[in-house]
Chains A and B, each alone.
Chain A
Amino acid sequence: MKVIAAMNGLVSSDVAALYALRYAALFGHTLCLLHVLNPADRKEEVEMSMAEAEEAASHYEVKTERIFLTGEPDEAIRKYLAENRTDTLFCSTRMHRSFFKNSLSERLSRLSLPANLAVVRVAHVNAVFVTENILIPIREDRLSAQKFAFFSSLAKAFGAATEIYSLHPTDRRRLAAMDTHTARMLFQKINTRLSHYANILKLLDIPLTIKHAMTDREIDQILHHAARHDFQLMIIGGRRDYSFPGFFRENPMERLFWHTPVNTIAFYARDKN
């Protein structure tokens, strides 16, 4: 089984490779350092980045291999994934004007892939070295098994504490009318539904906190929470249906990636078919 880090010589792709490395180290997978050759390439920079990743991998006793592909990057990667059993592909994303316009990560996120995809947005270059607290915001109790597995794996890999931040979407009027008892009952219900995840984390010896919030603006609430507390990594669920920017408002995922004050990974589970 492989874990792939898509590399292009940029700082953020180096950081994404380090996340991939820690993930691969946990399961004893091979770390594939992948690059799709193109005419405007800086191959020596890519190779330098790969060498650094290999050196880091040697500390964790992770096997590495270099893969150079040609052609359209998204197609070449899809083809490679189809032919090679892969657990997760880590790919960094850029912050140029719009995340969702013509970036490789965006195109990959729309493809049906036989591997998990982790799109990494780097806010702090160094955070990957000091990851102690990982946040996963979810809507109420909606946490898929795949996303939880990825989240808990990274927590285990970094030896980090975790927090599930459960958001209950509501409007201002309902929020004003909500009394403490009703809110408590609602949160207890969500806690009960999440208890099996809590138990698994306990078994894995990973500290967990579950926090709740009610909000009419989910993205702002998540950003607010991430800024207020000391997190080094946030994991969110990638949503393919957010692919087109809204006419009247920003794309929520794009807004989150644009404003996040901590390193953030958008996780897209592999296509079941």
Chain B
Amino acid sequence: MQLFALDRKDLFLRLKTSGNGLTADQVARRLVEFGPNELATAAKKNYLLAYLVQYIHFFAIVLEVAAILSFVADHYAPNEGSDVLGYAILAAVLINATFTFWQEYRADQAMEELLKLMPTKVSLRREGKIIASMAHEIVPGDIILLEEGDKVAADGILLESNSLFLNLSSLNGESAPVARDLMPGEAKRPLDAKNMVFAGTTVLSGSGVAVASATGNATEFGKIASLTKNVRKAITPMQREIIHITRTFTIIALGMGCIFFALGLFSGKGIMTASIFALALIVANVPEGLLPTISLSLSLASQRMARRNALIKNLDSVETLGSVTVICTDKTGTLTKNEMTLKLLWLAGGEEISISGEGYREPGEFSFAQQNDSTENRLVALLTAGLLNCRASIDEESLRGDPTELAIVAAARKKGIAAPEMKKVQENIFTSERKMMSSVYQEGETTWLFAKGAVETLLPKCTTFLGSDGKEQPLSEADRQAALARADTFEGQAFRVLLIARGKKAAEEELTLLGLIAIMDLPRHGVAEAVASCKTAGIRTMMITGDNPRTAAAIADQIGMAHDRVITGPELESMGDEQLEEILASQTVLFARMASSQKLRIATALQNAGEVVAMTGDGVNDAPALKKADIGIAMGISGSEVAKEAADMVLLDDNFSSIVIAIEEGRTVYFNVKKFVTYVLASNVPEIVPYILQFFLKIPLPLSVIQILSIDLGTDILPGVALGSERPEKNIMNRPPVNRTEKILDREVFLRGYLFLGVIEAMAAMVAFVFFLQQHGWQYGTVVLADPLLHRQAMTMTLLGAVTCQIFNGWTMRSWEFSAFSLGFFTNRLMLWAMATELIWVWALLNVAPVQKVFNTAHVPLSDLWILLPFPVLLLLSHEGYKWLRRRRK
């Protein structure tokens, strides 16, 4: 027999416990036997392994091989600086790996901090005493005390229940309060047993005592949690991009290295010279600073998003947001406030009253369409009756009770009504069968009964109504029809309608109809604007709710969410996958009466149709869908731990608008990455060209490998990061979503970086080098200069040629489409700092002896530097001109 079906004696026997609870000794032993009451939802990340992985991706391996070759070269030809180069390359790998790892680690820590906010204390009865304990110390057999507002920490079987109602939404997605009883009902599975409470659920009202039957992963919550572990996600677009970029550069670098190594050998340069030459070309081709710049840029974006209430768990997901084409969103709490508001009242005398102020705490005014002398008194009578029949309470710090009752209490507060002093003698609780509740009060000799409930249940119990003269009058059939018609009108506007009545005896009969109240969970502020913004951005928004179709459609209309049709859970159940995909492709759909488990199917169907899906969720049942979606979004306030763990992003304010902000940020990141990849590519050309020219022409070496590294890992990093933090371009949300097949390193980036801007930079570097040498008496054909200082000065000119062009390149690259001058001079302060830093670096290369020693540079007189000026200006003007031409063509 199942545990929940046993009588109390057998239950205690089987769990080896008693009504007084376990002894300390038993608890200690059971903790050893069953383990702590914790969900182990994922294998712990091994940070050592995560760090080591940073050393084995393509770039790192190429650089490590380059470092090894440098040390080999130093072994055979010492004192030529190859060892310094080897150390420099290793340092580059180390910096790169450490930095990227640190970013990932920080993102993980941010999530762990969030999870620590979960409640951990519970009340237990042990050895006959009530104690406060940590939730993870609960063991099977423990006696758990449950109070209103508590989060249930383990599965248990009820021993006592006092009007206990739970919110089981974390298990089944249904947010309606569920009554718990001492009898199991006709249940075969624990989940169906009415006398069971479940870990991860919340006590909405009432109290109870339960004996813990399962803890940790053995709970129903734990079982569902484990489902999230195995839904594997495809690699993110950013991961794919990084792989694509690193592979492309690695192939180019190795290809060029091999070609020039072969050419070197054939031209009789010797194996050592040829290898060092090939090595230099590999180092010049690999953009060493690219990966840390991408990581830093994504990290900065995630920090900006966190400030705007969207916490990103996985940095790569930032960019995926830019590709989102469909947002599947919950209704309650995301599109709406998750605070029921009493908006309309209908008094039995015929008046309709509207109430302003949304939610539980906002003040509000009562507006009367028509009124007479008794209207105010009848309104007070109705609200007082509602108030006396509520368990909910609102104070400065907390809200207690179910949302419908809170709405009544909030309306009474707006009117300044407090519950009169009366003695409550009885409460007849709400059940789904009765569809009403009532409370009986004693006031001196008078007995009062106050009732609220569904109109169709309570109206037949009314025999009188409070008429417009303030006196009780018999309720005629016409009056009943009037009340029903009004209720129907309210329901047509998607309100939840309750009838309020009172009687003068303890039985629920011969009641006096006081009126109707209409309650609604109103849309959040800013949601309609966010939905409109999605529309212009080419993103479909799709509501998936457990609520009824009428409410779903009404809320969708209020926020401007388009819908051709509403599909309900049972309809979806009867549909084949192909039919669903067809409907999703051809119609705009809302999903109502959906179970959380159906979200996974919707996400899969959308993905099969080629959509990039963002999916919101809060319950543990949502977790598989959150993992399956391209971007899983969990609710930070109402979300379960499991949902948060499964998600890529956590909304700290549960607000739909924050998703749209995050998408804008995601798109911005995509284009910003594109900008700085172009920026980095451009500097590769002046690094490669000097080596190729030196190979084919009779000139001294124009640029050393260490100088190449000083650009890639020195001067390029800060402007790259500054480009990564550039603000969204003004038309970012008017563009269609980024196509998944689109690559960051596309033809446009390649041509703009390598063949346009890169060529100008290479010209700048080589002209500066040759011009300087010629000014100082060099003749073509002299490969080894007699004056080493002159050679160092000439190499400094090459380096400065590239760096000065990159300063202007950084500025003009701030926009892919618009003029950099139209963006405002101070709108990206990091870019100004980056430019200033580069200028300081240029000064240091020219004047600071230790820097000169490391980077093999030398002081160049000011009179020789003028040659550097024309090329950066040329680069700036030509790129601005190019963008202008593109805009004109559009």
Contact = CB atoms under 8 A, between A and B. Distances in A.
Interface string A252-271: 00010011111000000000
Interface string B38-75: 00100110101100000000000000000000000000
Contacts of B217: 123, 259-261
A205 B229 CA distance: 35
30 contacts: A10-B33, A11-B16, A14-B16, A95-B33, A95-B35, A96-B32, A96-B33, A96-B35, A123-B214, A125-B3, A125-B14, A125-B15, A125-B140, A126-B2, A126-B3, A126-B14, A129-B1, A130-B1, A215-B230, A220-B229, A220-B230, A224-B226, A224-B227, A227-B222, A227-B224, A227-B226, A249-B43, A255-B43, A259-B226, A261-B226
A215 B34 CA distance: 29
Contacts of A172: 232
Contact of A124 (B31, B33, B214): B214
A174 interface: no
Contacts of A124: 213-214, 218
B223 interface: yes
A83 to B, nearest CB: 30
Given A126-B2, A129-B1, A11 B33 contact: yes
Interface in B180-234: 189, 213-214, 217-218, 222-224, 226-227, 229-230, 232
A11 B35 CA distance: 13
Contacts of B218: 123-124, 261-262
Contacts of A11: 15-16, 30, 33, 140-141
B213 A126 contact: yes
A134 to B, nearest CB: 17
Nearest to B43: A250
Given A10-B29, A220-B230, A221-B230, A261 B34 contact: no
Interface string B486-507: 0000000000000000000000
A258 B33 contact: no
Given A125-B213, A248-B48, A260-B217, A12 B226 contact: no
Interface residues of A, number: 34
Contacts of B226: 223-224, 227, 259, 261
B577 to A, nearest CB: 15
Contacts of A129: 1, 14
A230 interface: yes
A10 B43 CA distance: 29
Contacts of A96: 31-33, 35
Nearest to B235: A172
Interface of B: 1-3, 14-16, 29-35, 40, 43-44, 46, 48-49, 140-141, 189, 213-214, 217-218, 222-224, 226-227, 229-230, 232
The 4 closest A-B pairs by CB, nearest first: A95-B35, A224-B230, A123-B218, A96-B32
Contacts of A66: none
Contact of B49 (A94, A223, A248): A248
Given A123-B218, A220-B229, A227-B222, 12 more contacts: A11-B16, A12-B34, A94-B33, A96-B31, A96-B32, A125-B3, A126-B3, A126-B14, A227-B226, A250-B44, A261-B218, A261-B222
Nearest to B13: A52
A11 B493 CA distance: 57
A127 B214 CA distance: 11
A189 interface: no
Interface string A212-237: 00010100110110011010000000
Q: Name the prevailing secondary structure of the B interface residues.
A: helix
A126 B232 CA distance: 33
A197 B165 CA distance: 49
A224 B213 CA distance: 22
Contacts of B30: 10-11
Contacts of B140: 11, 125
Contacts of A10: 29-30, 33
B432 to A, nearest CB: 26
A122 interface: yes
Nearest to B140: A125
A227 B1 contact: no
Interface string A237-248: 000000000001
B32 A259 contact: no
Contact of B46 (A217, A224, A249): A249
Contacts of A217: 230
A49 to B, nearest CB: 9
Most chain A beta carbons < 10 A, residue from B2, B3, B14, B230: B230
Nearest to B49: A248
B236 to A, nearest CB: 14
Interface string A75-113: 000000000000000001011100000000000000000
A127 to B, nearest CB: 9
B32 A94 contact: yes
Contacts of B3: 125-126
Contacts of B1: 129-130
A223 B232 contact: no
A136 to B, nearest CB: 19
A172 B235 CA distance: 11
A262 B34 CA distance: 12
B763 to A, nearest CB: 44
A93 B254 CA distance: 56
Interface string A129-163: 11000000000000000000000000000000000
A95 B32 contact: yes
B229 A223 contact: yes
Contact of A258 (B35, B141, B223, B229): B35
B33 A227 contact: no
Nearest to B231: A224
Contact of B229 (A12, A92, A95, A224): A224
A95 B227 contact: no
Contacts of B32: 94-96
A94 B28 CA distance: 12
Contacts of B15: 11, 125
Contacts of A130: 1-2
A122 B218 CA distance: 9
Contacts of A92: 33
A88 B103 CA distance: 53
A129 B33 CA distance: 19
Nearest to A11: B16
B264 to A, nearest CB: 38
